[in-house]
Structure formats: structure tokens, C-alpha cells
Amino acid sequence: MAKLCLYFQLHQPYRLRPFSVFELNRGLDYFALGSEQHDDNAAIFRKVAQKSYLPMLSLLLELVTIHPSFCFALSCSGVFLEQARAYQPEVIGLIQRLVDTDQVEILAESYYHSLASLYSPAEFAEQVKLHTALVEELFHFTPTVFRNTELIYANFIAEQVEQLGFAGMLTEAVDRYLGGRPRTQVFRSYTGKPLPLLLKHAQLSDDVAFRFSNKNWEEHPLTSEKYVHWLNNYYPEEYINLFMDFETFGEHQWEDTGIFEFFRHFVGRALHFDHHFVTPASVLEPLANHPKTLDSLPVYDVPDPISWADIDRDLTAWRGNSLQHDALRLVYSIEADVIKSGDRELLRDWRRVQTSDHFYYMCVKWSADGDVHKYFSPYDSPFEAYNRFSAVMVDLQDRVRLGKSK
């Protein structure tokens, strides 16, 4: 039976607090009002931890204990790990216990879940370095496989990742670049020195992540028996890459939908039918170390950036309108001056506003894509998101110009 590669993304941004032009140059925090009692980020993180992180991590720990052949990967942004350590340390403890089983892999990514790979190779490399250092500190684990923010990928990004020394990378399978080839094989990048790639199986991933509780879906209800029956249609040499947001479990799909029990039974049933769980490193590292084998893989040529977002799987979720383009311009136009300042607080705040979520909230799409964006946004409108972000950027620019810390 087919090989199953599971990976879950754990990420929470630092959301901007209400910040107006009347608060400029007063040394105020952009993300909280100075105390935990007025920190929306703390409240949100703890709420999601109770609904999703703690019960799902506990379930995963139970499953790796019961099934020694069950394995998977986690990708935890640096800003997620910061907040977990500050607001819900039990989350860190559970991930540590999972990693200690040697059945769980931690993936590399940019510390701030940023779009730096698109705008600044130097900043991208630094954020990846910071992320690896934090993962090593917390989990005594050195990532060897890379997962970019929102699975964003292009040939030029693969070149950056290869230069950073990673053994492989994960991304989205986009039909316009697959050319009719199955997404269940391992590919290689279209770069001078190729990287092996695993591509997300969007349909089977989204059946769980997005459609599981949709009563209008023709396959509802989704049972573990039905799901594994679909998996049984694949061959032993194929890789079914199930990539999804960790908050699928308990937050996007609430506990009363049966999502936790579905997952518990899915793992046991998949193993019963001889599906083999694999981690990205166990697949990609051997290929990276054998150039001849790597050269024989099919090429995934992606000249224009892709992602796992929205129907078109492109970047319009983050830079599809003038609001987003202006916000991104403001951020990266001050990069050289921020770095030159040597101001640690200024650098931290500048990196926190790089987090991709800030630009996602400014998306003005409509229809099904728009509904998803509205669900995830803390703002009443994309224009409110842009106005608040712009006020923060004015203050950041003044700090750069005046050379002031908070």
C-alpha cells in the first residue's frame, strides 16, 4: 500500500493591537497594551491551545506510543514557539515528548512566517538560521527539510533553500506545472543543484482540513473506513502527502464534529491495511545524498511563485492588491536602515510585522476564497487591516529615522 507522509503546520501571528496615528512616537507596544490582561494574543493562543493544540498533541503522543511505526512531521513557526513558551508552556512540553520518541520530525521554516524569500534572500537566510537555533534549543533537533511559509515555492526559492544546505523541501502540487503527472511521486527542483521535493495532495488533505464537517459535501460524513478506502487505490511506490494546518483539529473542525476520533481510527486503520507512514527526511535525505538517483527524478519547474492558498494556488492572498503591495513596500524599504541601526527591539518589531498574516488580512477577494480570508481575519475589513498596519509602519519609520528604541 502507499506511503503516507503527514505534516502539520503550527503558527500563530502576533496580531496588531488597535494603534492609531495619535499614538505615534510614544514608545508604545504594537502588539499588546503593556500587560497580559490586555494582550489579545495571549487570550487567543490560550483559547486555541485548549481547543486544538493540547488535545491534538496529546492524541498524537498517544498514537505514537501505541503504534511504533506511526510517524509524522511538525512545522512550528518561531513566533508560534515564542507564544507557546510565554502563554502555554505545556504545548512546548508535549512537542518535546513527541520529538523524544524519534517518530516525529521538526521541519525548518522562516522564524517569522514571513515572505522574505520573495523580497530579501539575506533576511530570509537570517530568519531560517534563527528558527533552526530555536528548534535546536527547545527540542535538541536539527531540521534537515524545509517548509516555506504557506508552502510558497518557485525555482528561485529552491535555489535559496539549497544554498542553505537543506536536504529537501515541501510544496504544493499545482496542476499548471505538473503537466498531467501524478503528485504522488518525488520530484526535483529546476535548479543548478537540484533539491528533492514532496508535493501536497490537496484533495485528500482538504477533505479533512476543509470539507470534513461540511454537510453539503457529497461525501459527508467522512469516516476513517471511507478515507482509507480512498488511500487503498494508490500503489506501494506512491507517496500521499497529507499537509494541513494543525488547527484543523479542534479549531477549524470542532471536537463535536468527531474530528479527533476520526483521526485516531484513521491511523489505526491505515496501518492495518499496510500503509507505511514516513517522514519527509526519511524520504528526501537518501535522495539528496545520491546525485544519480536525484537526477533521475522528474523535474518540477515552477517559474512563478505558488502557494497552498486559495483556488489559484498563487500569491494573490498576500500581494494581490494595491493595499498589500504598499504595505510590503513599506516593510522592505526600511530593511537596510533597520539592520544598520543595531537596535534589537526595532529589529524584533520589524520582523514581527513581516509575518504573512498581516498582508493576508488585507486581501479583498470575494466568493469562496473571500469567505476563508474573512474567517481568519480579526478585522472588520481589509481596509481596517491596512490602516492599522500603516499606522504601525509610520511609527517604525520614525524610530528608524530618529534612532530610537521604545
Active-site positions?
150
Per-residue buried b or exposed e for 34-67, using 16+ beta carbons within 10 Å of the residue's own CB: eeeeebbbbebbbebbebbbbebbebbbebbeee
Residue type, 248: T
Helices within 171-223 (DSSP H only): 175-178, 202-209
| 3-state SS class at 158 | helix
How many Å apart are CA 237 and CA 239, to the nearest integer? 7
Q: What is the DSSP string of 122-156?
A: HHHHHHHHHHHHHHHHHHS----EEE-GGG-B-HH
What would the grid cell of residue 197 be?
A: 521535493
Name the pairing type of β-strands 72-76 and 299-300.
unpaired
Distance CA 335, CA 340 (A): 9
How far out from the chain centre does Cα 299 lie? 24
Helix axes 89-100, 54-66, angle to 10 degrees: 20
All three cell numbers of 318, joined, read 498576500
Query: Omega before 221 cis (within 30°)?
Result: yes
Inter-helix orientation angle 121-139/155-163, to 10°: 50
CA distance 105 to 98: 9
